[in-house]
Chains A and B, each alone.
Chain A
Amino acid sequence: MTYRNPPTTPRKSATFDDYTLSEIRRAAATGIYDIRGAGAKRKLPHFDDLLFLGASISRYPLEGYRERCDTSVVLGSRHAKKPIELKIPITIAGMSFGSLSGPAKEALGRGATLSGTSTTTGDGGMTEEERGHSKQLVYQYLPSRYGMNLRDLRRADAIEVVVGQGAKPGGGGMLLGQKISDRVAEMRTLPKGIDQRSASRHPDWTGPDDLEIKILELREITDWEKPIYVKVGGARPYYDTALAVKAGADVVVVDGMQGGTAATQEVFIENVGMPTLACIRPAVQALQDLGMHRKVQLIVSGGIRNGADVAKALALGVDAVSIGTAALVALGDNDPRWEAEYNELGTTAGAYDDWHEGRDPAGITTQDPELMKRVDPVAAGRRLANYLKVMTLEAQTIARACGKNSLHNLEPEDLVALTIEAAAMAGVPLAGTNWIPGKNGF
């Protein structure tokens, strides 16, 4: 019997892991970078790295089911004659008709309206479905200006000037030809079936001084009635927030890198921008330094999933949050009931992100008339409303436990961090210590 040396266990590289190897092979075979939807999927410092302390001897809680805990918020009170009043501090983020089906947009409007909150158009103009079913609709003013028109601007409840988004700060978009139906093509004034490139820069202004003049124009056109938001991708939140305030914004929206996109290069989504958690404190600090905290409202988005995330964002000084990916999941996106069809597309429920290809088995990110029938706008809207209600109750539960009679009374002092990274980013102490990295010279 010959002796064999004991073999070592096959060892895969941490650097060249399975995903990386598959991406190299895919790039070599196709010669095209990978485009996908959704936001950053890599593990990032996030709200999970923060904990609430709750009440103790030094502070007492509110009775969970008896004492009131206010959830309402007013957006746009700085300059707008008609600010938006929301019952809950959770709004629906901008997602375009084109990237989403008509029934999905209608469902978002229905769910938001049932919950007393707002929904937002996207890079494709305003549809009758969403205007009709959204009590409060924010109309995005984007570089492409697809579908932008005076009538819709005036029947919007607020205007959001989109400078960037968290999935791709500094990037434009591309809606591939297979999603360009007759209706989408008509709204965007482009031929059917061609790729539609969305510009990364506004065509008629550059820089904060121009933005101020642009905001003045929008206010003049709408007789100073509508709140004007400025949305930026989470890149330089301190300066972007300060400049948006200087330019006259009523509301600043900061979208971290976990915020989704309909279609962007994978390399862009995963490597440009900052985590949502890292964006909040600099943005709040900018408002505080300018004496504008709570006067100009701050909305943060990107990876908000539950009431704890909402409460943590508010405790860090945010006025409201916005959800996109989570709202789509509530409608039915990536539902395991379609697993067999996800498998046919080479993916699995929970991982499907080829939203740009228009073959979404759940019927949400598609313009295919048969697939989109799978979304019942009434039922899906109800699911979204249920989900928003749960998030709100969860956030209230935490706030009461911290002794707060309003979600907006939560404060950084209610929080500790589990990791040094999160402590540094959120500006709260590492749990069990009074150490905030970067503060007091440490």
Chain B
Amino acid sequence: MPATTLSKTAAHDPRVFDLDQLSLRELNQALHNLAPGSNETAWEVLNPKGSHSVAVGVDQPVAIDVRGSVGYYCGGMNSGSTITVHGSAGPGVGENMMSGSITIKGDASQYAGATGKGGLLVIEGNASSRCGISMKGIDIVVHGNIGHMSAFMAQSGNLVVLGDAGDALGDSIYEARLFVRGKVDSLGADCIAKEMRAEHLELLQGLLDRAGVTGVKPSEFKRYGSARTLYNFNIDNADAY
């Protein structure tokens, strides 16, 4: 197949993009060229082999299946597409996502969902450190464990962890909600355990449903959030910084 030819077998088959044959640039440009209402709603990316910036800045509601593991920033700034990585993801998967969803079948490296504004990020394996750092509205569901400094300066949105959390969870957190089912090694500055009220149980059930999690009850989780003592600077809190 010539390097510049796209393989497209039938109108309703996925548009297949083999990164052994075509460049990352061609893939992203083709995704960005999609017009609203395009019929090319199913995409398949073969041989990502750890490529960075796979399917970044997609702004149409298409489904993209990535067959293999990806490098940094897969799905960065995603706006409305549904991306599934059938492998693991490098640092910054779904960074600054606006809407849509990203599912990682394997593990995710550092900064998963960093600064995400919206949408849903599901990590079916474990996530490394700084998961949900500076999150601003995104929902993140991790089936496994998360590393240290996760939800650092998290502003809003929800982080759900079915496993354990590392040190300094939610350091300097603002209004994001954290739900952890397992143990938390330590909480960061201004992050405290909070009462799980009915509205939180309902919210959490919804998040678990959206993430396709079954056999797990919201009542098995603890909720963490901001003590709000660092919201306005006070010298007597200086030891917390």
Interface residues of A (CB under 8 A from B): 30-32, 144-145, 148-150, 153-154, 174, 176-177, 188-191, 194-195, 197, 199, 203-205, 210, 213-214, 216-217, 220-224
Contacts and interface: CB of A to CB of B under 8 A. Distances in A.
A57 to B, nearest CB: 56
A154 B98 CA distance: 14
A213 B24 CA distance: 13
B137 A153 contact: no
B28 interface: yes
Given A144-B134, A148-B96, A213-B72, A204 B114 contact: yes
Interface residues of B, number: 43
Interface stretch (B4-12, B198-206, B228-236): B228-236
Given A149-B98, A204-B73, A217 B155 contact: no
Given A191-B175, A203-B133, A217 B29 contact: no
Interface string B197-241: 000000000000000000000000000000000011101100000
Contact of A191 (B52, B79, B110, B174): B174
A222 B156 contact: no
A221 B76 contact: yes
Interface string B116-147: 01000000000000100110110000000000
Given A31-B235, A153-B77, A203-B133, A220 B24 contact: yes
Judged by DSSP, the binding face of B is loop
Given A32-B233, A223-B32, A189 B76 contact: no
7 contacts: A32-B233, A149-B117, A150-B77, A150-B98, A194-B231, A216-B53, A220-B25
Interface of B: 24-25, 28-29, 32, 52-53, 56-57, 59, 71-73, 76-77, 79, 91-92, 95-96, 98, 110-111, 114-115, 117, 130, 133-134, 136-137, 152-153, 155-156, 172, 174-175, 231-233, 235-236
B134 A203 contact: yes
B232 A194 contact: yes
A220 B231 CA distance: 37
B115 A221 contact: no
A203 B24 contact: no
B57 A221 contact: yes
B136 A189 contact: yes
B79 A214 contact: no
Contact of B136 (A145, A204, A217): A145
A199 B153 contact: yes
Contacts of B72: 210, 213-214, 217
Contacts of A221: 28, 53, 56-57, 76-77
A191 B175 CA distance: 8
Contacts of B53: 213, 216-217, 220-221
Contacts of B155: 188-190
Nearest to B241: A197
Contacts of A191: 174-175, 231
A203 B57 contact: no
Contacts of A148: 96, 115, 117
Contacts of B133: 203-204
B95 A204 contact: yes
Pairs A-B, 4 closest by C-beta atoms: A221-B57, A204-B92, A194-B231, A145-B115
The winner among B25, B59, B96, B110 for most chain A CB atoms within 10 A is B96
Nearest to B231: A194
B33 to A, nearest CB: 9
A204 B56 contact: no
B32 A195 contact: no
Contact of A213 (B71, B136, B137, B233): B71
A250 B134 CA distance: 28
A15 B24 CA distance: 61
Given A32-B235, A195-B231, A222 B57 contact: yes
A199 B233 contact: no
Contacts of B175: 190-191
Given A174-B233, A177-B231, A203-B130, 13 more contacts: A32-B233, A148-B96, A153-B77, A188-B155, A189-B117, A189-B155, A203-B134, A204-B110, A204-B133, A213-B71, A217-B76, A221-B57, A223-B28
